Amino acid sequence: MTVTIALFTRDLRVHDNPVLTAAHREGTAVVPLFVVDEAIAAGRFAAPNRARFLAAALAELDGELRAMGGKLIVRRGNVVAEVDRVAAEVHAGSVHIAADVSGYSRGRERALRERLARRDCLLHTHAASITAADPEVLVPSTGRDHFAVFTPYFRRWAEAHQRKPFGKPRELTVPPVASDPLPEAEDICAGPTSPQLAVGGETTGRKLLRDWLSGPIVGYEDDNDNLAADATSRLSPYLHFGCVSPVEVVHRVDMSTPGGHAFARQLAWRDFHHQLLAARPSAAWSDYRPRSIAWRDDPQAVAAWQDGRTGYPVVDAAMRQLRAEGWMPGRARLITASFLTKSLRVDWRIGAEHFLRWLVDADLANNQLNWQWVAGTGTDTRPNRVLNPLRQAKRYDPDGEYVRRWLPELAHLPGAAVHTPWRETLDAAEYPAPIIECVGM
């Protein structure tokens, strides 16, 4: 009997999973393995919201595998040691894993390859598992190792050949091997979570995708920045954990329509950031394009921003949505990030850390590089761009519906008046005055 291991990381699905497909094709028996990585659980990237989403996603993955006659094998500890231990127990000839781009992922891959080689067990990595395009394939014709500007990257991305989605295995044979119980969220990372957090998992994510493609995507080009409309797909957490396949999503989107093209463009932004981080791993915490910016040390302003008490309603509404849902729309992320970095002049890393704490979809590629884009240290070709919260509110929440949804203390203010509560007779105990005067577009 030939035994292979399908090591799940950020690809928690059975549909269009290159790792599971390859392991199933190669082996007469497959160990679907997930290791609760104690290095991540104990590190700065740990977050209760993502732990809760992850626990639900693992439970759904186990259910999908059991429907094929298999089950998810769970271990906890050092990933390299646990995979090596399982490989020894089942006499595995190979391990399959999704290629990833962070420095940690690259180091994990190298360590796995070296450890498994000692027992003549091969490690196979699979690109286009976590992203729609292989981050290392789409490179400029200039000879550089990555695209530094999005528009030419998107042209190449849209023209590139992409593989067709794989089906799921009809059945699996899993050899006898010990497993820990499926983890609860608290077993992964304890702490308070967002009360309105989305439920993780492939079944949930695929239903969300079906619903999105069945109609709402048609209006995406016109409505995606409309804060009150809630007109985005909300698929980002499911893409982050691989509950839905980015390749399958792109394959199913009709890019010939305005809505489909605009949505595909956002998927390409995700791939763009992954290819950039693959080439420049240090950009996770260091300026991609260093600039002489005098960041301010202002703990009180940071606390006001984090708590949604800046006195600018559109900023505060977005920050409260972040706490409540572990998510917020892209336009809200731009507004809040610009306010912190361009208006308050606070280091982007402080904001990125806060988003890592609460965003269920946060990964190093997209979170950090989006923050750098806004802060002017990343790939934005207009690094001095400032988003004025009042002008942004007038443009993207003209009737104030979004603000009233998240700031109940201002719900009595009519229409656009909700964006300038300092002009009304409000007590400071009800809602604070603006902590700074803002300029910008």
Is 61 labeled as ligand-binding? no
194 is in an annotated binding site: no
Q: Is 235 annotated as ligand-binding? A: yes
Residue 234 marked as a ligand binder: yes
Ligand-binding site membership of 12 (annotated): no
Q: Is 220 known to sit in a ligand binding site?
A: yes
d(CA 283, CA 349) in angstroms, rounded, equals: 11
Q: Which two tokens stand for residue 267?
A: 């998927």
Cβ–Cβ < 8 Å for 193, 185? yes
Q: Which two tokens stand for residue 299?
A: 């703990």
User: HSE-up of 438 (CA within 13 Å, CB side)?
Assistant: 30
User: Is 433 part of any known ligand binding site?
Assistant: no
The sign of the CA dihedral 175, 181, 183, 187 is: negative
Is 407 annotated in some ligand binding site?
A: no
Which residues fall in the annotated binding site for FAD? 220, 232-236, 263, 361-363
Q: Which residues are annotated as a binding site?
A: 220, 232-236, 263, 361-363
